[in-house]
Structure 1
Amino acid sequence: MRRSERKQQDPDLGVLASRLLFSVQGELFAALAGQGHAGLRPQHGAVLAHLDVEGSRATDLARHSGQHKQVVGKLIDELETLGYVERRPDPTDRRAKLIVPTARGLDQMQRSDAIVAAIEERAAATVGEAAYASFKALLKQVSGGRPGAEPG
């Protein structure tokens, strides 16, 4: 059996995880585009998914997302240009900057939460509430084993 056939018949954890990620991202960003947020790309999720309403330091966003600081910095620049975030001085450390969502960013965050909740509700309805809760708990446990991973 060829490797590609085996991966289709018995996909490993990486293949399954990427399928899940791409499926959720595809639905999320398509729905966001239809709700007035067409300029966003899935890569922006590395910042937006981990951004606190009160603001976050870029180093924390990099750590939570698992991305390099340089990548996160570039994404922050793009999101700032698109009007989703702004840089403000950190009141606890004058040398540091906080990345704070703008009104547009807060709207996107609220809409994203609702879209993802709907995706999760649909998944739970498909496999059953108990099975989905078990799946999510197991996925958290398995994905939490990576060094630097943030427990969910």
Structure 2
Amino acid sequence: MRRSERKRRKPDLGILAGRLLFAVQDELFDTLARQGHPNLRPQHGAVLAYLDVEGSRATNLARQSGQHKQVVGKLIDELEALGYVERRPDPSDRRAKLVAPTPLGLDQMTRADAILAAIEHRHAQALGADGYAHFKRLLQEVTDRQRAWRS
């Protein structure tokens, strides 16, 4: 049996995780585009998914998303040009900058939360609330264990 055929029939963890990520991103960003946010791309999620309403430091966004600081910096530049975030002084350290959502960014965050809640609700209905909660616990455990590998 060819490798590609075997991977199609019995996908490994990386393939399954990638398929899930891309499918969720596709639905999220397609729906956001229809709701007035057509310029966002899945890559912007490395910033937007971790951005606090009161603002976040770029270094924290990079650490949380697992992206390099340079990548996150480029994404912040793009999101700033699109009007989703702004840089402002960090009140706890005037030398540092916070990346904070603008009103457009807050709208996107609210809509993204609702879209993701609907996706999760749909899966919970299909699998049953207990089954879906169990799946998420196991997925979190596998994710935590895999991330600990680098530590």
TM over 0.5: yes
RMSD: 1.1
Q: Determine the structure 1 residue equivalent to 2:67.
A: 67
Number of aligned residue pairs: 149
Q: Determine the structure 2 residue equivalent to 1:41.
A: 41
Aligned-pair distance for 1:147?
Answer: 3.6
Aligned letter for 2:121? E
Aligned-pair distance for 1:148?
Answer: 8.6
Relative to the length of structure 1, the TM-score reads 0.96
Q: CA offsets, 1:45-75, max 9 Å, x none? A: 0000000000000000000000000000000
3-state SS of 1:144 partner: helix
Q: Determine the structure 2 residue equivalent to 1:78.
A: 78
Structure 2: which 5+ residue stretches go unaligned? Answer: none
Give distance in 2, aligned partners of 1:124 and 1:6.
29
Q: Determine the structure 2 residue equivalent to 1:99.
A: 99
Give the direction of change, closer, same or farther, for the CA distance of 1:5–1:148 in structure 2 (3 Å limit).
Answer: closer
Q: Determine the structure 2 residue equivalent to 1:24.
A: 24
Give distance in 1, aligned partners of 2:130 and 2:9.
26
Q: Determine the structure 1 residue equivalent to 2:14.
A: 14
Q: CA offsets, 1:92-137, max 9 Å, x none? A: 1111000000000000000000000000000111111111100000
Aligned letter for 2:75? L
Relative to the length of structure 2, the TM-score reads 0.97
Identity level (%): 72
User: Is 1:53 aligned with 2:53?
Assistant: yes
